[in-house]
Amino acid sequence: MSLDEVPPPGAALVEELDKRLLVQLRDGRKIVGILRSFDQFANLVLEGAVERIIVGILYAEDPLGLYVVRGENVVLLGDIDASHDPPAILQKVSLAEIRQIQRDEKEQEKIKKTMKARMDFLEFD
């Protein structure tokens, strides 16, 4: 392939314009919205965007509206099959419920780390 055959960076995104996409961000968040625009840095403009929060088999969506995603934060993106969105295995709950579940999980992780640190400390005695 010669240099004249290589498409410019971001050219593949042209085919995704006006499609509903799922965008996975570096911090683990998942944003769903319609791709309206992008630039050479893969910065994205999503219309009707929502943050889809998934914990186990439960999920909720936090409306974001018109949303700009910096290209450097995009890990992966892909179009969504409307007939499988969201996947049938997931159960929708309220945003308040999913936030509480997230807090509970974070607290459980904190307790596990504390217990592990204590066990590690006791093993050295």
Answer for the pair 49, 64: CB distance below 8 angstroms, yes or no: yes
Which residues are CB-contacts of 125 (< 8 A; sequence separation ≥ 6)?
Answer: none
In the CATH hierarchy, which fold is given to the domain comprising 3-92? SH3 type barrels. (2.30.30)
Reply yes or no on whether the pLDDT at 125 is more than 90: no
Say what the pLDDT of residue 122 is: 76
Say what the pLDDT of residue 15 is: 87
Answer for the pair 59, 86: CB distance below 8 angstroms, yes or no: yes
Q: What is the average pLDDT value for the chain, to the nearest integer?
A: 89
Say what the pLDDT of residue 117 is: 83
74 or 7: which leads in pLDDT: 74
Q: Where are the domains of the chain?
A: 3-92, 94-125
Reply yes or no on whether the pLDDT at 85 is more than 80: yes
Reply yes or no on whether the pLDDT at 13 is more than 60: yes
